[in-house]
Chain A
Amino acid sequence: MADEAAADSLLDVERQEAALASDGDADLQAFREAVHSLPSDAVKDLMSAWVCSRCIFRLFGLTEPCSCPCLSPSVFTERLMPENLVGSLIDGGSSESEHSTSLPEPVVCSVCLGILQFYHNNDVQLLVSKDGMNDLAASIAELVKQEGHQTDSFSLEVSIPSITLDNERVIMSYMSRKYGSQLYSQERSFSECICLKNALKSLIKAPLETLLGVKYGQGPLHIRLTYSESSKTIEKSVEHKFGATSKRRKKGNENGLETVDGLMNSGIGCIATGVGHSVVTDTPVNGLQHHQSSDFSKLLLEKVRRPCSLSFHCNRDPIYFGGRYLKYSRNVSQTCWMIDEDRMGEASVEEIISSCILLMCRGDKYKFHAAGREDMDVRMLGSGRPFLVEIQNPRHVPSDVLVKDIEHKINSSREKLVRVKNLKLVGSQGWTLMREGEAEKQKQYAALVWISRPLEDPDLLSISSVRDMCILQRTPIRVLHRRSPLDREKIIHWMKIERIGGTSQYFILHLCTQAGTYIKEFVHGDLGRTHPSVGSMLGCRAEILQLDVTDVKMDVF
């Protein structure tokens, strides 16, 4: 029995391997068909210009073979170039074969600079592997795992050096000129060239989906791959071969010669360098076209193309928390306030709330926004002031339970400086919500007021009979240094005096005003620049000792 089972399982394995092989065969078959469909002399020419197989496919607008993971240039060359030309041109081409064990210096594509071949520098060494694509996907997945990101979808953003686009343009133009008519007769064109970024994305997408276990889409996790040119200097031989002045492209034409178009016509220049800056040569156009193809290849033979440097990062879309805060201290500013490296006040609402949230979300940075603000020496009581905290690149999106935990943690701090209410995750509409009600919002205050004579009953009446009284406030002296000198009309909606037992010249003034009213100045009159004021209404001097905000009337959070 055991033998049979063993034999069965062996059969299974064989069956699986055969299936794989036939799948592979099917892929290979499709690949070979695609290769056959291309005009072979064009392909040969491209290969002699050190264009990698994926680039060749995408130049012709073929998607499938381009994204085929088992792409092997050796297969390519087998099919197309049986002659000896293969060996002499593709120096080290055999090193790209899947069957070789050693990995000598690779041949870097002259168009994509190794991007689609998954060769790249990491400043220490040239990274080459037999399975570059999957290795890259694995490194990216490793980074995402290390960062600890939580997401249900990811997007890819690729940044490539502009020289690859130039290379592409030059080679396309060269090919169009040389093979244009031939292709036209075959009803082909280069117009369906797949751009390098899309080609790369479609290659790396699938392995990443598998490794990360989530679908490719619009985010919220964004993976950015940045390829940049290795800064190496231009080979001397180019300059030697093609004469005197080399100029940087686009820097103007001092000798009245080369423009970018001129470059393209000559078929030389941008392609060949693929390193650092491209070279503009001032060889006469005609002469060059004459020797076009042979010089082309000679030049390319002498070139060494360096692969790009690659760095990748991942970043998650920000998340937003909304709520209301109360401030119990008269020594705490709303936002972090520093003057010459000295902190004003002992803490800030912003830091107390945001740092706690940032920690729990394992984010990079926070941004604190509040619906208005109060002075440091003014307490924020009552219903609290609406605020919004933006957490950038959060690794962890908290659940409702955890959000309650965060609120509890802030509120049970030893110092009891700040309290948070109704903390919750909000979408990006939280921002518009806050901004919407701002202009109309009314605010309610309680001020501890002293007057220069005893309070009398008629005073209570004259104050409480106020309904939507208009006052004119000139920009208070205490902010005049940084604000425009303006006369601002403000509305006092209502007022009420609350007597204090044990004193006749102190009382609590409750008032509700339009947003933007300067309360302190309304009480003491700001040298007569706010009129009417509490003092002018009561016909005596009035001073304010303390101010508290008791309500911010806004329908949010």
Chain B
Amino acid sequence: MLQVPMTDQSAQQSSISTDSAAAQNNSSSTELKEVRKVDGDDEDKELHELLMPDVRNLPLAPPSAVESNFVAYFAPDFMKPGHDQYVYRHPNGLCVVGLAPTHVAFRDEGGVMGVDFNVGKSDRSAIKVTGKRKKNAQHFESNTMLCKVCTKSDSYVVRCCVKGSLLEVNERLIKQPDLLNSSADREGYIAIIMPKPADWLKVKATLLGLEEYKRLKEQC
């Protein structure tokens, strides 16, 4: 995946190497590596050579941690129109659930103002899951309420989308609801759910992949 190499002139000098005067923008990066002299003995030199990447191979913007580690699925209009949610599934089976960028809540003026996990029969932020076997985790259905998201004008229910054990909710949202506005797909995630393999297969059939979801929403 060779991309257009960076030719940014600004950052040139290494703060560690002592002598890089000969290293100029125009040289290829292999020459850069060879010319660079490093203090210390051979081992350090060997180590340094191993560490330095070939700049020509570096992509302009690499895939994000979420992109590389999860497979993204979408549940558009989950139980109600406009309630678009995402399910990021990790190869280890865990699912991170949150609001998709096309969720109606984001259309309200000011965006999300508050998040309340005290819904249904219990306060979801109060559960304490312990141990490798995830004791005390509550088993929820895909339509079980996770939290309520409030904007200036309205409030919206967020649901599990995936049947499984609730391992964790993002209680940071209580004090920092703005995370949903700035990065709903990362720090603004809602919860982490652990479905049983059979349950996952059932729900997977109802979800959309990234491409399908994009196409669907472009039409709207």
Contact = CB atoms under 8 A, between A and B. Distances in A.
B172 interface: yes
Contact of A500 (B55, B134, B167, B168): B55
Contacts of B50: 328, 379, 381, 548
A325 interface: no
Contacts of A429: none
Given A483-B132, A502-B5, A548-B51, A455 B11 contact: yes
Contacts of B187: 525, 527-528
A504 to B, nearest CB: 4
Interface stretch (A36-44, A136-144, A154-162, A538-546): A538-546
Contacts of A446: 51
Give chain B's interface secondary structure class: loop
Interface residues of A, number: 46
A460 B12 contact: no
Contacts of B179: 528
Interface size class of B (residues with CB under 8 A): 35 or more
A291 interface: no
A479 B29 CA distance: 37
Contacts of A454: 8, 10-11
A481 B94 contact: yes
B104 interface: no
Nearest to B9: A504
Interface in B1-35: 5-8, 10-16, 20, 23, 25, 29, 32
A290 to B, nearest CB: 67
Nearest to A531: B172
A501 B32 contact: yes
B183 to A, nearest CB: 8
B120 interface: no
B7 A502 contact: yes
A543 B47 contact: no
Interface in B116-168: 129-132, 134, 167-168
A484 interface: yes
A480 interface: yes
A508 interface: yes
A362 interface: no
Contact of B170 (A485, A525, A528, A546): A528
A333 to B, nearest CB: 16
Given A498-B16, A501-B29, A528-B186, A550 B11 contact: no
B206 interface: no
Nearest to A383: B43
A450 B8 CA distance: 14
B62 interface: yes
B100 to A, nearest CB: 16
A382 B62 contact: no
B11 A503 contact: yes
A526 B90 CA distance: 13
Interface in B92-109: 92-94, 96
Interface in A516-557: 520, 524-528, 541, 543-546, 548, 550
A524 B62 contact: no
A251 interface: no
Interface of A: 328, 379, 381-382, 446, 448, 450, 452, 454-455, 460, 474, 477-485, 496-506, 508, 520, 524-528, 541, 543-546, 548, 550
17 contacts: A446-B51, A477-B69, A481-B93, A482-B132, A498-B14, A499-B11, A499-B15, A501-B13, A502-B25, A503-B55, A524-B64, A527-B189, A528-B172, A528-B187, A543-B65, A544-B65, A545-B58
**A-B pairs with the 6 shortest C-beta distances?**
A528-B187, A502-B55, A524-B65, A503-B6, A481-B92, A504-B11
Interface of B: 5-8, 10-16, 20, 23, 25, 29, 32, 43, 47, 50-53, 55, 58, 61-66, 69, 90, 92-94, 96, 129-132, 134, 167-168, 170, 172, 179, 186-187, 189, 192, 194
Given A479-B92, A483-B132, A544-B65, 11 more contacts: A498-B14, A501-B13, A501-B20, A502-B7, A502-B25, A502-B29, A503-B11, A506-B6, A524-B64, A528-B170, A541-B186
